[in-house]
């Protein structure tokens, strides 16, 4: 084949150099080493291209490898030409080499503008140092951001994504341990450790909002109620911005803030606003110049005016309070408000319909954070019905007082007039008995003597009844100065009147707030009641009355007991009713004594009651508070 490519006239290179061994050897070794190097260099270029997939303009590398290979074949032909003159083949190889190098030069010429912009080694070194400094700054900023996120008291930073539809947290600051009570490592391993805390009622809404943010790459913002592992419910606000990373995944960079306190505060504010708006009392707020700032529905209902009516008509504070106030009265209102005091009054106002109504108005200043009056609060209540009812009550009370005074005066006068004939009846009965005793025959007449006894007994009973009625009528009003009195002196006079067969046991009694006259009546009727109804069933047993008392703060308590038969339980309350008697014999009283005692005690807002003793007998207990002395 080589012979076919060799022209007949061609002479091998070996003949040219006369086959000098030294020169031929050098030519062979030199060309073979060059050819070997040219064949090895492309292999290194190809390996470089395969390892560095990020290198641009790979066609230049291929052209460079082709040029070196053609050069290697050219030097290999030089060795062959020592024996065989294959000059046509060498010419073809030279043309191929020239074509490859010319193509490379053309492409390099086109890349000249780009090559001219390539930085120098010094520029690359400076850029590398700047990049290193920038990288260090970014790392410092990342550390600062991480520290900031970990130091947020009620918040935590997070990075969140969806991997094949499943939630994954890429980053979490340690604040999540304070707000949600979970460990960072647990949430990074399983996002549902945190997301499962979302209230069930909000989970669908959360998923829908996340889907919209994922689809449109809109900012995500939502307030979520979450339950910590310890059972406590907290409100957190999640805010994040979505972006796509290098892998094409949407990543949300966000912050979660614990807004439980704010949420509770807003709930309280809403409840307060609803309470004010739905309150039956009218609420009006104006600034210090009288410009209306707020008016609730109750105020509209009371006055007939809407907020727009006040606002558009520019009604003054005076008109809001009342247009019927005099200059002096309105000046007093203004002076009190300017002094920071509360003003309160009942005034007559005019409804939008024209009718007049009574209104209770309380005005108080509202202070700002600097302690200055910033606005005024008006509380308005329609008290027309109350005023009318109070007026009617006063009229009825006045009529009742007049009727009661007339009845009391009539009763007092009647008792006085009845007392005089009663005294004469007793006097004449006693004279008649004296006269009868002087007639022996008449004294022997049983019927006459029994009739005379009835007259005397009923006359005395009538006198007692009239006296008790007078005491009952006088029991409700003081008959002297109400002050702390010593009952021990008064009881001494009563105890001297006791029968000799009655034993009285008494401790030192405390002072009591009552006028002296009624205090004397009170102990008198109670001792009289014990004397009449406290007799033992066994006549051989000595009657005993025990009197004791104590002082507790501003209250005086007394006990008067006997060792009699006691009182049936069904009568413990009834015996205090007027004319209520347990026995209806001639020895019983008029049934007014305990009613007098209760009237005296209750007039001082005290209490009185009766208790049966376990050993037998009854005990009257009454309490008298100090109240107000007069």
How far apart are alpha carbons 121 and 126 in whole angstroms? 9
Q: Into which CATH architecture does domain 480-625 fall?
A: 2-Layer Sandwich (3.30)
pTM: 0.43
Q: Which of 508, 550, 530, 500 is nearest to 597 (CA)?
A: 530
- Of 61-75, 392-406, 410-424, where does mean pLDDT reach its minimum? 410-424
Using an 8 Å Cβ cutoff, are 630 and 624 in contact? Answer: no
> What CATH class is the domain 279-382?
alpha beta
Q: How many helices (H) and strands (E) does the chain have?
A: 21, 17
Give the pLDDT of residue 410.
65
Give the pLDDT of residue 12.
67
Q: How confident is the model at residue 628 (pLDDT cuts 50, 70, 90)?
A: low
Q: Is the pLDDT of residue 147 over 80?
A: no
Residues 56-70 as b or e (16 or more Cβ within 10 Å = b):
eeeeebbbbbbbbbb
DSSP summary character for residue 501: T
Q: What is the average pLDDT score of the chain?
A: 82
Q: How confident is the model at residue 114 (pLDDT cuts 50, 70, 90)?
A: confident
Q: Is the pLDDT of residue 532 over 60?
A: yes
Average pLDDT of the residues in 347-355: 83
Which segment, 37-46, 386-395, 404-413, is predicted with the most confidence on average? 386-395
Q: Is the pLDDT of residue 2 over 50?
A: no
- Residue with the two structure tokens 């106030």: 325
Q: Is the pLDDT of residue 364 over 80?
A: yes
CATH topology of domain 152-265: Beta-Lactamase (3.30.450)
pLDDT in tens, 42-78: 888 778 777 777 666 667 777 777 878 888 888 888 7
Q: Is the pLDDT of residue 626 over 50?
A: yes
Q: Is the pLDDT of residue 363 over 80?
A: yes
pLDDT in tens, 540-594: 888 899 999 999 999 999 999 998 888 888 888 888 887 766 654 445 556 788 8
Residues 6+ away with beta carbon under 8 Å from 149: 155, 156, 157, 173, 174, 175
Residues counted in the chain: 630
pLDDT in tens, 75-101: 888 778 778 777 778 788 888 888 888
Residue 513's beta-bridge partner residues?
Answer: 484
Average pLDDT of the residues in 273-280: 86
Between residues 81 and 624, the one the model is more confident about: 624
Q: How confident is the model at residue 210 (pLDDT cuts 50, 70, 90)?
A: very high
Q: Is the pLDDT of residue 486 over 80?
A: yes
Give the pLDDT of residue 625.
93
For 345, phi and psi rounded to 5 degrees? -170, 160
Give the pLDDT of residue 203.
93
Please indicate whether the domains covering 152-265 and 480-625 agree at the CATH topology level.
no
Average pLDDT of the residues in 295-319: 77
Q: How confident is the model at residue 314 (pLDDT cuts 50, 70, 90)?
A: low
Average pLDDT of the residues in 106-117: 75
Which segment, 6-10, 27-31, 286-290, 601-605, is predicted with the most confidence on average? 601-605
Give the pLDDT of residue 233.
93
Give the pLDDT of residue 450.
77
Q: How confident is the model at residue 469 (pLDDT cuts 50, 70, 90)?
A: confident
Q: Is the pLDDT of residue 315 over 60?
A: yes
So where are the chain's domains?
Answer: 13-116, 152-265, 279-382, 395-453, 480-625
Give the pLDDT of residue 8.
43
Average pLDDT of the residues in 365-382: 87
Give the pLDDT of residue 1.
43
Q: Which of 333, 336, 314 is nearest to 325 (CA)?
A: 333
Strand order in the sheet with 373-382: 292-295, 282-287, 373-382, 356-367, 343-350
For 274, phi and psi rounded to 5 degrees? -65, -40
Give the pLDDT of residue 571.
82
């Amino acid at each position: 084949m080589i012979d076919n490519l060799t022209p007949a006239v061609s002479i091998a290179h070996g003949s040219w150099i006369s086959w000098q061994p030294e020169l031929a050897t050098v030519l062979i070794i030199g060309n073979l080493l060059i050819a070997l190097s040219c064949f090895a260099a492309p292999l290194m270029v190809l390996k470089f291209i395969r390892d560095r997939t990020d290198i641009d303009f790979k066609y230049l590398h291929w052209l460079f490898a082709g040029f070196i290979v053609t050069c290697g074949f050219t030097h290999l032909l030089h060795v062959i030409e020592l024996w065989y003159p294959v000059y046509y083949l060498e010419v073809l190889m030279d043309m191929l080499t020239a074509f490859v190098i010319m193509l490379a030069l053309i492409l390099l010429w086109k890349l000249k503008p780009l090559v001219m912009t390539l930085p120098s080694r010094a520029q690359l070194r400076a850029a590398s140092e700047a990049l290193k400094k920038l990288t260090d700054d970014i790392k410092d900023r990342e550390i600062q951001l991480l520290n900031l996120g970990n130091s947020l008291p009620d918040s935590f930073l997070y990075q969140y994504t969806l991997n094949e539809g499943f939630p994954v947290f890429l980053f979490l600051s340690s604040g999540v341990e304070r707000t949600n009570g979970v460990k960072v490592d647990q949430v990074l391993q399983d996002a549902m450790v945190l997301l499962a805390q979302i209230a069930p009622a909000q989970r669908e809404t959360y998923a829908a909002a996340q889907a919209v943010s994922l689809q449109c790459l809109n900012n995500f913002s939502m307030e979520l109620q979450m339950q910590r592992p310890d059972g406590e419910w907290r409100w957190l606000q999640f805010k994040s911005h979505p972006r796509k990373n290098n892998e094409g995944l949407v990543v949300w960079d966000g912050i979660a803030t614990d807004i439980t306190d704010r949420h509770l505060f807003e709930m309280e504010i809403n409840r307060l606003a609803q309470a004010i708006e739905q309150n039956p009392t009218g609420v009006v707020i104006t600034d210090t110049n009288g410009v209306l700032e707020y008016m609730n529905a109750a105020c509209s209902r009371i006055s007939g005016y809407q907020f727009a009516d006040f606002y558009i008509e520019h009604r003054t504070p005076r008109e809001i309070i009342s247009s019927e106030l005099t200059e002096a009265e309105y000046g007093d209102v203004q002076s009190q408000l300017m002094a920071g005091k509360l003003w309160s009054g009942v005034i007559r106002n005019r409804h939008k319909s024209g009718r007049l109504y009574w209104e209770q108005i309380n005005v108080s200043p509202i202070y700002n954070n600097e302690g200055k009056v910033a606005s005024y609060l008006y509380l308005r209540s329609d008290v027309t019905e109350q005023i009318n009812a109070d007026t009617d009550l006063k009229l009825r009370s006045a009529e009742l007082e007049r009727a009661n005074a007339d009845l009391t005066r009539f009763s007092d006068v009647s008792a006085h007039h009845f007392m005089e004939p009663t005294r004469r009846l007793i006097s004449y009965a006693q004279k008649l008995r004296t006269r009868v005793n002087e007639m022996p025959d008449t004294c022997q007449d049983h019927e006459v003597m029994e009739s005379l006894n009835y007259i005397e007994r009923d006359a005395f009973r009538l006198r007692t009844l009239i006296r008790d009625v007078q005491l009952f009528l006088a029991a409700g009003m003081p008959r002297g100065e109400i002050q702390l009195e010593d009952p021990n002196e008064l009881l001494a006079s009563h105890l001297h009147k006791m029968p000799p067969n009655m034993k009285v046991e008494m401790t030192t009694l405390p002072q009591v707030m009552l006028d002296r006259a009624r205090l004397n009546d009170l102990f008198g009727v109670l001792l009289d009641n014990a004397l009449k109804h406290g007799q033992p069933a066994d006549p051989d047993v000595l009657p005993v009355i025990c009197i004791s008392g104590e002082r507790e703060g501003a209250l005086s308590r007394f006990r008067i007991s006997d060792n009699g038969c006691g009182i049936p339980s069904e009568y413990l309350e009834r015996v205090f009713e007027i004319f209520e008697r347990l026995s209806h014999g001639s020895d019983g009283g008029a049934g007014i004594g305990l009613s007098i005692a209760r009237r005296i005690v209750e007039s001082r807002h005290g209490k009185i009651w009766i208790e049966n003793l376990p050993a037998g007998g009854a005990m009257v207990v009454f309490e008298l508070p100090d109240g107000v002395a007069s």
